[in-house]
Structure 1
Amino acid sequence: MNNRMNKKDLRCSISRAIRELDPRVRAAAGEQIIGQILKLPAWGRADSVFAYSAMDDEVDLSELLITARTQGKKVFLPRIEEGQREMCFFEASPGDCPSAPVPLERHGLGFLQPQGRGGVEGVPRPGSVVIVPGRAFDLRGRRLGRGGGYYDRWLAGLDPGVFLLGVAFGCQIVPAVPCDPWDVALPRVLNDSLTTAPGP
């Protein structure tokens, strides 16, 4: 079986596992993960955070991003233009926060993203915190996405001084993720089992 088929099967398996999680368990997991992130020294030092607006089956970081704004950090969220293969990040704010520099709109894939391209486009600098979702991660930090390749292309160009981490529910951590040469591994992954893989 080739990698493409392995990835498809793993995505289906993980999707089922997440659907079977009680919503209260998901919420509690998100709170645990946010608590871990807030304790990271890199979070305290960072002046900018690059994250995401969660879909229903992803770790919800809304409260973390609101906290970031209250701490004076700039929050950037991804935007994907319909029909294009690139992903850019623009300064935004989650939820109904009235101080949002750019309003949010719903993308065809279901997630919220900064509206238009009139806002401030952000590029992570050394010390920026970048938080990445995924379908699955393994103990070597290898990541399986949704199959579009947006994050792999974007991550490949980041400065090595960026503080990069993935976040996931415990059921998304697997022994091994099938990889292709272009897949980008993450140096650390946080999940609600309070483990970090593979770096501190």
Structure 2
Amino acid sequence: MKRLLLAIEPTTRLHKSWELLQQLQSSEAYRSSQSLCIYLSLPDEPYTGTIIESALASGRRVFVPRLLPSDVAHEKFPLTRHLGHMRMHAIHSLGSWNEWPLNKFGIREPPISHSVVDLDDALSYILLFTTYVIPFCWVSLAYIRSFFAPPLLDVDMLILPGLAFTKDGKRLGRGGGYYDRYLAGMRAIFTERARPRMPFLLALAFKEQVLPELPTCPHDFIVDKVLYS
């Protein structure tokens, strides 16, 4: 599959990516969204830069993933037991993203300081007090919520990368397990907080990535919608 994707001509890849942008923008899930998590694409993936710029221009909140740095002791982070080793960080511009550092997979990530590396902007209002403050403070959650604004940072849509998909939403990742762990933690947190639903899970794919069937494991998440071109 990787060789097949790399064989797609750059101009064809850009054309397909533009078609995917049009499909996304015409979908009801996207039109009704106010915020989304989305990855920064690899060269063999549908290009997501235009989607991110369009979402920011429309006033949507946009969050992109970042892996915990390898030189940081992961086990010391309270959120690791919830979300694994990936966090979502808010961005407001893609102006200098070509200068952002590369992670171990060659993916650009927004630069941040180690002092905030364990915060997750997409979930911060849910987790900030339950993880850091409540265990050490007698102040009630209702009081804290009444004191801090704005209300709960919510994520309407999460766009996942993948190596292959089926039309009914099965997904083959690239072997790291970061998204499955992150989504499992998100689901557990939302269940504890009695949140009614998870974000809408969406995938972008070239038609070459869409297969008749894929093997799945019990912990795999099914994507709500696969857009392909």
TM-score (normalizing by structure 2): 0.69
Which is greater in Rg? Answer: 2
- The equivalent residue for 1:190 is 227
Deviations along 1:169-193, one digit per CA (max 9) or x if unpaired, are 110001111222211111210001x
Greater alpha carbon shift after TM alignment, 75-84 vs 24-33: 75-84
**For the Cα contact (< 8 Å) 2:64–2:91, is it kept in 1?**
yes
Q: Is 1:150 the counterpart of 2:178 in the alignment?
A: yes
Which structure shows the bigger proportion of residues in strand conformation? 1
**5+ residue gaps, structure 1:** 1-13, 193-200
2:91 alignment partner AA: A
Secondary structure in 1 matching 2:202: strand
Query: What number of residue pairs does the alignment pair up?
Result: 175
Q: How does 1:78-93 map to 2 (within 5 A)?
A: 78-83=65-70, 85-93=84-92
Partner of 2:159: 131
Secondary structure of the equivalent of 2:101? strand
**In structure 1, how many angstroms separate the alpha carbons of the residues matched to 2:95 and 2:108?**
12
Which piece of structure 1 moves more, 88-97 or 182-191? Answer: 88-97
Q: How does 1:44-59 map to 2 (within 5 A)?
A: 44-59=31-46
Q: Which moved more, 1:141-150 or 1:80-89?
A: 80-89
Q: Does residue 1:72 correspond to 2:59, yes or no?
A: yes
Q: Once structures 1 and 2 are overlaid, which stretch shifts more, 114-123 or 170-179?
A: 114-123
Equivalent residues in 2 for 1:103-142, closer than 5 Å: 104-116=100-112, 118=116, 121-123=121-123, 128-142=156-170
RMSD: 2.3
Report sequence identity in percent.
28
Runs of 4+ in 1 over 3 A off after TM superposition: 82-85, 117-120, 124-127
- How far 1:57 moved relative to its partner? 1.1
Deviations 1:78-132 (A, max 9, x none): 01013455211000145316xx9xx843212111112225486113966612111
Aligned to 2:204: 167
- When normalised by structure 1's length, the TM-score is 0.79
- Look up the match of 1:6: none
Structure with the higher fraction of residues in helix conformation: 2
Task: Return the letter of the residue paired with 2:183.
Answer: L
Find the aligned partners of 2:206 and 2:157 in 1 and give their Cα distance: 20
Structure 2 unpaired stretches of 5+: 75-83, 125-152, 191-196
> 2 CA distance for matches of 1:94 and 1:24?
25
Q: 1:53·1:94 contact (CA, 8 Å) conserved in 2?
A: no
Letter matched to residue 107 of structure 2: F
